[in-house]
Amino acid sequence: MQNFEQFLIDNLPTSTSIHPTYEKALQEMLRAGGKKFRPALLLGVVNAYNPLMVESARYAAYAIELLHTYSLIHDDLPSMDNSPLRRGKPTLHVVYDEVTAILVGDALNTYSFEVLSNAPFSDYIKVKLIQELAYNGGLNGMVLGQAIDCYFENQPLSIDDVKILHTNKTAKLIAASLKMGAIIVGREDLGEKLYDFGIKLGVLFQIQDDILDVTQSSEEAGKLTNNDEDKNSFVTLIGLDESIKEANALAEELEKELSSFDDSLRDELSELLLQYINRHK
């Protein structure tokens, strides 16, 4: 994702704001790096089937990262996880204040759809992409998952309910990234298969995060760790050993599915996916 952050920053709308820190705060999280996992999935699918469309597809990749970044800003707020660190740096509500963090999150949320609307695709493709991002990132996906997570804090859920929580909070946006790549290259039939794969991948991603939360320091993770005691995390509910077993089983299942992809898609995604599928080991 070369020059990813710089593209986003260079293309932030200019304004005649008299606010002393608004523009700087908008750039803060975009400069902080991050894995760029979701954009890489989308661009990997596009590159597997039509490399000539990769540059155009970057608009969709940027939109996903903007929406994801907004979710991290809000997730760290005092009313939610109250985290002082994100991507190895102080969170926005710590550097500035809670109001600024809320509004920057709001701004990046809406800006993601502005970026997507300017993508050089047909109106049909743009509408499909906007629908996919809105559905999985909004009230039927990520926001629903966050609402469940916050409401049931200090109230243990069943492991099946926790999977529902994280299917919405984490997995759906990962699944949408893969499916949006398929939409861009005109492979909507493949998009459904990739979406199902992405849901499993997203649940694994969350189990791994829960494992790393208790096995890594805050410095290693780049965010506050050992902070999930009151949350419905996999480790809290079934313990570290069982969580590792669950992650290993899901990782094995995903590796088998990955091996069944056609050659171009498997070759394009294997290096990235295997790195993440096995990151808990």
> Where residue 237 sits, what CATH number does that domain have?
1.10.600.10
**Residue 247 pLDDT class (50, 70, 90 cuts):** very high
Question: What would the mean pLDDT of 246-256 be, rounded to a whole number?
Answer: 95
48-52: long-range contacts, CB 8 A cutoff, minimum separation 24: 48/264, 48/265, 48/267, 48/268, 48/269, 49/185, 49/187, 49/264, 49/265, 50/184, 50/185
What are the tens digits of pLDDT across the range 14-73?
666 788 888 888 888 777 767 889 999 999 999 999 999 999 999 999 999 999 999 999
Note the pLDDT of residue 7.
Answer: 67
Phi, psi of 86 (to 5 degrees): -150, 130
Residues 230 and 169: their CA atoms lie apart, in Å, by 17
What are the tens digits of pLDDT across the range 162-204?
999 999 999 999 999 999 999 999 998 999 999 999 999 999 9
Residues 104 and 21: their CA atoms lie apart, in Å, by 11
Asked if residue 9 has pLDDT above 70, the reply is no
Tokens linked to 36: 């760029």
Residues 74 and 106: their CA atoms lie apart, in Å, by 9
pTM of the model: 0.91
Domain count, the chain: 1
Residues 59 and 120: their CA atoms lie apart, in Å, by 8
Residues 201 and 195: their CA atoms lie apart, in Å, by 10
Tokens linked to 158: 């069943």
Which domain, by its residues, includes 129?
4-277
